[in-house]
A and B are shown apart, each in its own frame.
Chain A
Amino acid sequence: MKKVLVADDKATGRELVRTVLEKSGHQVFEAGDGEQAVAEARRIHPDLIILDIHMPGLDGFGVIEKLRREEGFKAIPIIALTASAMMGDRERAIASGFTGYITKPIRLGALRAEVERLLA
């Protein structure tokens, strides 16, 4: 069982991802904003983080910038989750240190595949 941290400011979004990942047998932790995400990550040391880009306050880019500077988070997989469909967003996310990229609305198959690929 792997520990996955899901950060999204929308509770329904978190519940969706939690449900899918728990069915796949993972232990899911939640964070409702960027600051919480950083604090939770430091507390639980997850195997994977799924990070909504668009959050009030500290956004996904801010979170990854903080985490990637810390020794414990240099290498763990972090997936960007975003409802923005603008071209170039994927490149920007990868350049910012994300290891995966999923757009909302998610297709469950795509989410499962990306998570398993990064946890393998």
Chain B
Amino acid sequence: MLLEKRFRELLEAAPDAIMQVDADGRIILLNRVAEDMFGYSRDELLGQPVEALIPRELHARHAEHRAHYRQQPMTRTMGSGLALEAIRKDGTRFPVEISLSPSESAEGFRVTAIIRDTTERRTAEERLRKVREEYTQRLAETNAELEMTNRELERANRLKSEFLASMSHELRTPLHTIIGFSELLSEELEGPLNEKQKRFVQHIHTDSLHLLELINDVLDISKIEADRLELRPEAFDLTALVAESLASVRSLADAKSHKLETALDVPTALEADRLRIKQVLVNLLSNAIKFTPEGGRIRLEARMQKSFVVVSVTDTGVGIPPEEHESIFDKFHQVGATTKGVREGTGLGLAITKRLVEQHGGSISVQSQPQQGSTFLFTLPLGTAGRKT
């Protein structure tokens, strides 16, 4: 009796429904959890075929499975991988997980079934699946939206480039004849001009060249900002490029009686966008000329430092107050008091210069004190933009 009492206690302590079925599939033992789970009283179930707890459409198949299990009895999960369903007294169905263990005793073959109601787990799984599905769906939608935004941005960017190209073309066409005819007039091949006429024509010519410079700068900065400025690296001789750059500012320097000096100690060939580096050099040189009072000295130095070419342009000009050392590289920034009496620029030169240097993988900085001249120093890496050839 004590043994039976202990067995009972054990049976009732289990959190799962436990049943025992005999060789004919009749229920011969069940615990309290089983009663509650299926909604039957103990007496209603004892002696009933276990199929009473299984949906009707599965009865025949279940009987077969039982017979089969009788042939190959072993402890295992029932219908592994299948979604098993049980049926309550009130006809409602619920998902279950069942473990089977065979036992052979004096009373014959028996099967112990441990049944767990998995409704909650199923619901949780279902909820998880839904959340995952929703998440995947939302992610796909967000991706589609992003793709569309990207396409629109690309299109806008392309339109901007096309607009810039045609704008530049349209602006240059009338400038072509303004610059050309004013140059033609000032050559006096069609007859002499008096001093005043000559000066006026020269004004037209100078200012239309300035306008051209503005158009080119605006086009450059727009291209840079739209990330559409493409470098065209080629191998070239920096020494020759420096000479070329000096030649193109020589007349500006002569007009103000500046001395131009160079000190070069660089490899003969490096690889970078030749025209853009010339643009950088000419820009720094003409700034130096512009902001240095008559009779100054402009010195261009280039040397190697580790894997970089370091180029500096030093003048004896008006200098730049320290608080403006950063902002001079901003668009449309013009050094406050120091620009007095200096021909107006576009305010874009240094911004473009900085971007061009940076796009080559280099950097640019300035050292200067008011009235003590300025040194602009930029680097070009040999490794990426430039390398010895």
Residues of A at the B interface (CB closer than 8 Å) are 10, 12-13, 16, 19-20, 23, 54, 83-87, 103-108
Contact B172 A20 (CB under 8 A): no
Q: Which of A19, A83, A103 has the most CB of B within 10 A?
A: A83
Identify the closest chain B residue to A19 (Cβ). B184
Query: In whole angstroms, what is the CA distance A103 to B208 when docked?
Result: 16
Q: Which of A16, A19, A105 has the most CB of B within 10 A?
A: A105
Tell me, yes or no, whether B335 is within 8 Å of chain A by CB.
no
Identify the closest chain A residue to B231 (Cβ). A87
Query: In whole angstroms, what is the CA distance A78 to B178 when docked?
Result: 24
Known: A104-B172, A105-B212, A108-B183. A85 touches B177 (CB 8 A): no
Q: Which residues of B contact A105 (CB under 8 A)?
A: 172, 175-180, 208, 212
Contact B216 A87 (CB under 8 A): no
Contact A83 B176 (CB under 8 A): yes
Contact A104 B176 (CB under 8 A): yes
Tell me, yes or no, whether B123 is within 8 Å of chain A by CB.
no
Query: In whole angstroms, what is the CA distance A10 to B173 when docked?
Result: 9
From DSSP, what is the main secondary structure of chain B's interface residues? helix
Query: In whole angstroms, what is the CA distance A107 to B205 when docked?
Result: 11
Contact B173 A83 (CB under 8 A): yes
Contact B173 A85 (CB under 8 A): no
Tell me, yes or no, whether B169 is within 8 Å of chain A by CB.
yes
Contact B184 A84 (CB under 8 A): no
Query: In whole angstroms, what is the CA distance A20 to B212 when docked?
Result: 21
Query: What is the 8 Å Cβ interface bit string for chain B, positions 209-234, against chain A (1 contact, 0 not)?
Result: 00010001001000000000010100
B150-209 residues with Cβ-Cβ distance < 8 A to A are 165, 168-170, 172-173, 175-181, 183-184, 187, 189-190, 208
Contact A87 B230 (CB under 8 A): yes
B342 smallest CB distance to A (angstroms): 24
Identify the closest chain B residue to A111 (Cβ). B180
Contact B189 A84 (CB under 8 A): no
Identify the closest chain A residue to B175 (Cβ). A105
Residues of B at the A interface (CB closer than 8 Å) are 165, 168-170, 172-173, 175-181, 183-184, 187, 189-190, 208, 212, 216, 219, 230, 232
Contact B183 A13 (CB under 8 A): no
Identify the closest chain A residue to B177 (Cβ). A12
Contact B180 A85 (CB under 8 A): no
| 8 nearest A-B residue pairs (beta carbon) | A104-B176, A83-B172, A105-B176, A105-B179, A16-B180, A12-B177, A83-B173, A83-B169
Contact B169 A106 (CB under 8 A): no
Instruction: Return the contact of A86 from the options B165, B179, B190 (Cβ within 8 A).
Output: B165
Query: In whole angstroms, what is the CA distance A13 to B177 when docked?
Result: 6
Contact B177 A10 (CB under 8 A): yes
| Between-chain CB contacts (< 8 Å), 19 pairs | A12-B181, A16-B177, A19-B190, A20-B184, A83-B168, A83-B169, A83-B172, A83-B176, A84-B172, A85-B168, A85-B216, A104-B175, A105-B172, A105-B175, A105-B178, A105-B212, A106-B179, A108-B180, A108-B184
Contact B176 A108 (CB under 8 A): no
Query: In whole angstroms, what is the CA distance A54 to B189 when docked?
Result: 29
Instruction: Return the contact of A16 from the options B165, B172, B176 (Cβ within 8 A).
Output: B176
Contact B183 A85 (CB under 8 A): no
Q: Which residues of A contact B176 (CB under 8 A)?
A: 13, 16, 83, 104-106
Q: Which residues of B contact A13 (CB under 8 A)?
A: 173, 176-177
Contact B183 A107 (CB under 8 A): yes
B207 smallest CB distance to A (angstroms): 13
Known: A23-B189, A85-B216, A87-B230. A106 touches B180 (CB 8 A): yes
Identify the closest chain B residue to A109 (Cβ). B183
Query: In whole angstroms, what is the CA distance A105 to B178 when docked?
Result: 8
Known: A16-B181, A16-B184, A23-B189. A104 touches B165 (CB 8 A): no
Q: Which residues of B contact A23 (CB under 8 A)?
A: 189
A25 smallest CB distance to B (angstroms): 12
A94 smallest CB distance to B (angstroms): 15
Q: Which residues of B contact A84 (CB under 8 A)?
A: 165, 168-169, 172
Known: A19-B184, A85-B216, A104-B175. 7 other contacts (CB 8 A): A13-B173, A13-B176, A20-B180, A83-B169, A83-B173, A85-B168, A105-B172
Q: Which residues of A contact B175 (CB under 8 A)?
A: 104-105
Query: In whole angstroms, what is the CA distance A103 to B212 when docked?
Result: 12
Query: In whole angstroms, what is the CA distance A47 to B190 when docked?
Result: 26
Q: Which residues of A contact B216 (CB under 8 A)?
A: 85
Q: Which of B165, B169, B173, B230 has the most CB of A within 10 A?
A: B173
Q: Which of B169, B208, B230 has the most CB of A within 10 A?
A: B169
Query: In whole angstroms, what is the CA distance A86 to B180 when docked?
Result: 21
